[in-house]
Copies of this chain bind each other. A is one copy, B any other.
Amino acid sequence: MSAATRMSLNVYTVREQWNLREAIEGCARHGVPAIAPWRDKLADIGVEEAARLIADNGLAVSSLCRGGMFPAADAAGRQAAIDDNRRALDDAAALGAACLVLVVGGLPDGSKDLPDARRQVEDGIAASLEHAREVGVPLAIEPLHPMYAADRACVNTLAQALDICDVLGDGVGVIVDVYHVWWDPELEAQIARAGERILGFHVCDWLVPTTDLLLDRGMMGDGVIDLPQIRRWVEAAGFEGYAEVEIMSAQNWWKRDPDDVVRICLERMQTVV
């Protein structure tokens, strides 16, 4: 595949520059065949209008970001999360999204009990699974880098995510986001283990130095991740979907002309991914 035919634009790559309508039109203008909306962006124009615009512009939807955030300090909080994931699944179905990305959540307020948070995540996914199957949108567990274990996601390796998949069966898989997993000594083995359960492949790069834990992701090629190696492993496991470009970069890419950003993404997809 050419770079243009396998790239999806995660809208957070141009979060500060474009609303969802502009991002959809931008993808169409640049020949990017797929898009990944975030729910806050979806809220700008509503899911029906978004679905119409995406369809009118001939785009695929590689994922909807994001569900998850399951752990909570009490049962009401946990139920609220499950209800919210149900709504996210409905939105994902309306958009024809290939999956709902789960950023599973970290420690509940005041808790230091990581094993308990991990159990709550598994319970929350289990409680969301029937609806996921009904609407035909798989849940995609995204293991997040261990530096987010406390506050964003207590599932931090592909091995953990796949252990949950093993228990829960059909309708749940994983996202391989290079930013989160590139360091993992088990990466090759766990990607092979994942096989057809790989529901998404997200790319950006790890910068040296990294100046912010959340918003200093790099453009593909500007960091140290061996992107072609990981892409080959993912493809060898059978993944044939889009490479979703997700670069959260408050001080650099979010300040640039968004058309330039998309052009450079496409160029780097060709040269370094």
Contact = CB atoms under 8 A, between A and B. Distances in A.
Interface of A: 107, 111-114, 118, 145-147, 149-151, 154, 156-157, 159-160, 182-185, 206, 208-211, 213, 223-226
Nearest to A157: B185
Nearest to A109: B208
A224 B225 CA distance: 29
B213 A112 contact: no
A208 B151 contact: yes
Contacts of A157: 185
A224 B112 contact: yes
A201 B154 CA distance: 23
Nearest to A118: B185
B208 A185 contact: no
A255 to B, nearest CB: 21
Nearest to A180: B146
Copies in the complex: 2
A121 B130 CA distance: 47
Nearest to A159: B185
Given A160-B185, A183-B156, A224-B107, A147 B210 contact: yes
A233 to B, nearest CB: 12
Nearest to A216: B213
A150 B226 CA distance: 12
Contact of A146 (B184, B211, B224, B226): B184
B112 A225 contact: yes
Contact of A145 (B147, B211, B223, B226): B147
A52 B118 CA distance: 50
Nearest first, the 6 A-B pairs at minimum CB distance are A149-B183, A146-B183, A112-B226, A147-B147, A150-B224, A150-B208
A126 to B, nearest CB: 18
Contacts of A145: 146-147
Given A157-B185, A160-B185, A185-B118, A226 B113 contact: yes
A151 B206 CA distance: 11
A199 B157 CA distance: 27
B209 A151 contact: yes
